[in-house]
Amino acid sequence: MDGILAVWKPAGWTSHDVVAKVRGITKVKRIGHTGTLDPAVTGVLPLCIGRATRVVEYVQERPKSYEAVMQFGLATDTEDLTGNVTKELPSVELSESEIRRVLASFIGEIEQVPPMYSAVRVDGKRLYELAREGQVIERKTRKVTIYSLDLLDMQLDQPHPTIRFSVECSKGTYIRTLCVDIGQALGVPAVMAQLTRTMSGGFSKEQCLTLDQIAELHAAGELEGKLTPSDVALDHFPRATVSMENVQRAFQGKRIYLNALLEHEAFGPNSIIRVYGVDDSFVGLFQQDEESATLKAVKVFTKTGE
């Protein structure tokens, strides 16, 4: 069983719980997820199964989309409603215009400080482990990109107003921290109240299966037909086609000369490229080497093995 399975992660489960459950259903050991979701968060969790585990790093690099609810007037040590309240205002007054103005200011490349309750490693220890010990340490800022940020709904006529928004962002973006930073830009404390991941690795909610559906499909012998081939999830890389002779060269560990490409989509210097044989078989991922005018192998997939 090889391919990518888009799972709808339920609330209360860790990403590792979901992997363990699918391992138990399918009896396949080689399964990896493409980006951790906190237990309280629901949403799209693509699992790479079998040989598809070799492309996890490329699938998880793709942009992700979320729908979030944030609440103003509160601050917690976890930056969401699961934590201890560290600050609370009796009431907050905000206008739609100032909220829209601040949301627009976050579109583009921004800097974030990873929250203490996160899996980021500092000196070999995860931040959440230090946080549970009562430690708060200095963290380096990280650059992330917000591609879009849209206001979906507002509840401003209450002591602690809430808004709901959708966001498309780069890998490594903390939506909890985004909520806190939006609040700071508005001059009030804020926390993330709810989060759903609506797209990850190019997969949407509509393409996901629940754990119950996965169990039913596997019992009926139909689950394998629901897997997405690895190369489909890599379609953000340009495609090139080579002769079957060059396919064999690739399988032998040899480079492919750029002038041997029969067809190819536009690509730039040092680009990673999906290479296919003329029979439409996926050969693997290759990277352009300008100096030698060749493509060197990054990940090669054969029909019978790795």
Q: Which residues are catalytic?
A: 38
Name, in order, each residue with C-beta under 8 angstroms of 27's C-beta and a sequence gap of 6 or more.
Answer: none
- Report DSSP letters for 98-119, one per residue: HHHHHHHHTSEEEEEPPPSSS-
Distances (CA, A) of 270 to 155, 233, 289: 48, 20, 6
- How is 181-229 classified by DSSP, letter by letter? HHHHHHTS-EEEEEEEEEEETTEEGGG-B-HHHHHHHHHTT-SGGGPBP
CA–CA separation, 102 and 183 (whole Å): 9
Mark out the alpha helices in the chain (DSSP H runs): 15-26, 56-59, 96-105, 127-132, 175-186, 211-219, 244-251
Torsional class of 248: left (φ above 0), alpha (ψ -120 to 50), beta (otherwise): alpha
> Which tokens sit at 230?
């690895």
What the block records as the tokens of 62 is 């793709």
Under 8 Å between Cβ of 110 and 147 = no
Is-contact 35 257, C-beta < 8 A?
Answer: no
**Alpha carbon of 186 to those of 73, 92, 223: distances in Å?**
11, 11, 48
Query: ∠235-244-286 over CA atoms, to 5°?
Result: 40
Q: How far apart are CA 80 and CA 70, in angstroms?
A: 9
Paired residues of 276 in beta bridges:
241, 282
